Amino acid sequence: METSLIILKPDAVQRGLMGRIISRFEEKGLQIVGAKLMQITPELAAQHYKDHASKGFYPGLVKFMTSSPVLVLAIRGNGAIAICRSMMGATFGSKAAGGTIRGDFGVSNSFNLIHGSDGPEAAARELGLFFKAGEVLDWKRAGDAWIYDLSSGTPE
């Protein structure tokens, strides 16, 4: 099982889209194992987006991400990191395909609603930035036997 760090960005929270976006992940069969409404500090934004520090869009990105509360989620499932990325769609709202979160709910290239870890290494680093020990819960979901084929002992 993989866990991805997802951020519903300030535009998603302000536009009242949190529920609809979370529903998509739940309906897919992914499990919410952490959730936190918070305001990102400039220091945390800088750590989170450190790889983008030299980019032209970086100052605007930090300003956007710290401008209003975000909902941070830890989302778990088989292949969850890539599944979340494909459900999010391409970075730019203007280019993201229909059926994806960015494609269906936005048109902006910077206010693009959602962040998702882009690989296992990033997920581990980002989960550590946003969640303290004990805040990501290993909880048993009653319906898992109908989400996954568990007949072999491992979820398929």
CB of 96 to ligand UDP, least distance (A): 9
Q: Is 68 in the site for ligand UDP (CB under 6 A)?
A: no
Is the CB of 60 or the CB of 155 nearer to ligand UDP?
Answer: 60
146 binds, among Mg ion, ligand UDP, none (CB under 5 to 8 A by kind): none
d(CA 82, CA 80): 6
Q: Is 91 in the site for ligand UDP (CB under 6 A)?
A: yes
d(CA 49, CA 60): 12
Beta bridge partners of 8: 71, 114
Q: Of 20, 122, 51, which is closest to residue 80 (Cα–Cα)?
A: 122
Q: Of 69, 58, 75, 56, which is closest to residue 117 (Cα–Cα)?
A: 75
Is the CB of 63 or the CB of 146 nearer to Mg ion?
Answer: 63
Q: Is 96 in the site for ligand UDP (CB under 6 A)?
A: no
d(CA 20, CA 22): 6
Establish whether 52 is a catalytic residue.
no
Q: Please tell me which residue in 2, 115, 117, 131 is annotated as part of the active site.
A: 115
- Rule CB under 5 A: which residues touch Mg ion? 118
